[in-house]
Amino acid sequence: MKLKRMPLFLLVLFLYNGGAFLGASSGASQWQSQLQTGEPYNKKSSTSKEHLKQISPFSPESNNLALDVGQVLLTGDYGRNYTDSIGYRLHYTYGVSDMFGFDASFGFSDHSDSSFSVMSLLTGLRTNLSWYDKIVPYVVFGLGFYKPSRIIAPGVTASPVEFGVHLGPGFDLELTKQLYFGAALTFHDIFGTVRQTVAGPMDFGGSFISFLLHIGTTF
C-alpha cells in the first residue's frame, strides 16, 4: 500500500518545487531586466506608480509659478514725488518642506507717466505658518536687487542698480492640485546711495509697499 502511494507523493512534490523554481526564475529575470534599465525593483508590483508623490501647491518638491498683479504704494521720498500705480510680478516658489520654500520673483511698476519706475529681482525664504484646510498663510523675507529709474532731465534717465530687502505676509488658497489663488502684502526697502548725475547728487534709495493678487499653477 505504501509503495503505490509513493509515486503520487513524489509527483506532487515535484510539481510544487517546479512551480516555486519557475516563479523564482521569473522574479530573477524581472529583477535583471530592471537592473539593466536602472529602475528600482519592487517584488510585489514592479510597474506600480504608488511611489510617485502627490504634488499640491507649495508641498515638498513642488514647483509653483504665478503671475502677480496689484497696487504699488510709494512711501517716503518716492511717495512725495511720484504717484502710485499698478505693478506686475512673475513669481516662482519651490517647496523645500511642509514649512519652508525657496522664493524668487521678477517685478516691475511704472509711475507718473514713466517719470519713475522700479524693476526688481528678488529671492527669499517662504515660511508656511499653518495648513488650514486648503488655505496656507505664510510670511516671506528676502534680499534682492532693485533698479529705480528716474527722468532727471529732458531725455536723460538715471537707473542705478541698488540692493534692498523685502518682508511681508500672504496667503494661498488651493483651488485644485495644479491651481492656486492668493494675495500678498510686501514692504520693500531699497538701500540707495547718493550718486552723481547730470542734475547733481541724487539719492535713489526709498521704500514702497506692494499689494498683489496672484494666480498660479503647480507642477
Instruction: Write out the DSSP string of 124-137.
Output: EEEEE---BTTEEE
- In this predicted model, what pLDDT tens digit does every residue of 152-165 receive, in sequence order? 888 889 999 999 99
| Residue-range domain boundaries for the chain | 1-52, 63-218
Burial of 96 (0-12, 13-18, 19+ CB in 10 A): middle
- In this predicted model, what pLDDT tens digit does every residue of 150-201 receive, in sequence order? 998 888 899 999 999 999 999 999 999 999 999 999 999 999 878 888 778 8
pTM as predicted: 0.74
- In this predicted model, what pLDDT tens digit does every residue of 136-150 receive, in sequence order? 999 999 999 999 999
**Rounded to whole angstroms, how far apart are CA atoms 138 and 162?**
27
Of the candidate CATH numbers 2.40.37.10, 2.40.160.20, 2.60.120.10, 2.60.40.1180, the domain formed by 63-218 belongs to: 2.40.160.20
192, 207 contact by CB (below 8 A): no
122, 105 contact by CB (below 8 A): yes
The three-state secondary structure class of 56 is: coil
| Per-residue confidence (pLDDT) for residue 198, from 0 to 100 | 77
